[in-house]
Amino acid sequence: MRMKVALIPGDGIGPDIVAEAVKVMGAVGTKYGHKFDYSFYLAGGVAIDSVGMPLPESTLLGCQDSEAVLLGAVGGPKWDHLGGGQRPEKALLGLRSGLGLFCNLRPALLYEQLAEACPLKSELIAGGLDIMVVRELTGGIYFGERGRNDAGDSAYDTMAYATSEIDRIVRKAFDIASKRSKRLMSVDKANILETSRLWRSVVNTIAKEYPDVSVDHMYVDNAAMQLVRNPRQFDVIVTENMFGDILSDEASMITGSIGMLPSASLRSDNFGMYEPIHGSAPDIAGKDMANPIATILSVAMMLRHTFACEEEAAAIESAVGAVLDAGWRTGDIMSKGMRQIGTKEMGTLIAQKL
């Protein structure tokens, strides 16, 4: 199979970790007979430095002409002085909008080998954690009308959702839940917000089409509490944009290993943009210190969700587990008795395990 992938290394450690992901993709291609066609594009701070804007038109067009996008990281203190419209992070919003990406998948998986990094009591995570947060990405309060009054002493942000926007993200969540443990938790604030009451109504309507998936509802404040009180009660969580932004970060932190977690942003077809959830860490850029595992696991998500290569995706995940079993660690996940290695060696070991 030929796979056309747009690569956006971005800022900071982005080029370091994307290079290791490409190394692993090469091993996948060799083992399974696939051919990856890569195109490299600028976005974020490096694009601002090169062409004066965070998302050049050529980058968006190139991504639109690809089958998937692999992104490293964008941003850093160097560009913090810029206005909102010119900040590196603006590239992310532009890519999501320009590529029609409405569904954000954020897995929170606690690797048994890294269980000691979890901030929760051991009895709360006995048996491991494997939570998938499905976040609506293009609606809600982040995209609603906003402004201030003439005096500047009053401001507003508007949360709005159409039934069609809720329908498409909820169906994605049901499809994912049906392939896992067939449990879906819909998170809203239906006791207060009219958008949440519409959300809950749409979820209940669609639930009739998925009789094999059990559905529950939970208010967002309770969900935030339950994630740290009893995280194993959750399997797939579906929620709107702002709630998903907050809960997915919380879920990622209870794994204790932000350098291990990938993400996917999808549209209605198989196209997706894949990236690690961590930042650009410019202080360690180019020093062979970054953890590439989240980016490598993002490749596994890409193979699974865009190219329907489940065996290849599972092989990458298995290789990561095997390297951790062998005691190899980058500095961010280092613990007593383990063997510390750098970015490049971690990528090489995972590729060799494949």
Write out the catalytic residue numbers: 142, 189, 221, 245, 249
Please answer whether residues 32 and 16 qualify as being in contact, where contact means their C-beta atoms are separated by less than 8 angstroms.
Answer: no
**Helix, strand or coil, per DSSP, at residue 148:** strand
Exposure on the CB side of residue 133, measured as CA atoms within 13 A = 31
As a dihedral over the C-alpha atoms of residue 216, residue 218, residue 224, residue 226, rounded to 10 degrees, the angle is: -60
User: What are the percentages of helix, strand and coil residues in the chain, rounded to 5?
Assistant: 45, 20, 30
The residue among 131, 92, 158, 129 whose CA lies nearest residue 238 is 131
- How do beta strands 262-266 and 328-329 pair? unpaired
Cβ neighbours of residue 166 closer than 8 Å, sequence gap 6 or more: 136, 198, 199, 202, 203
User: Token pair for residue 145?
Assistant: 């009308």
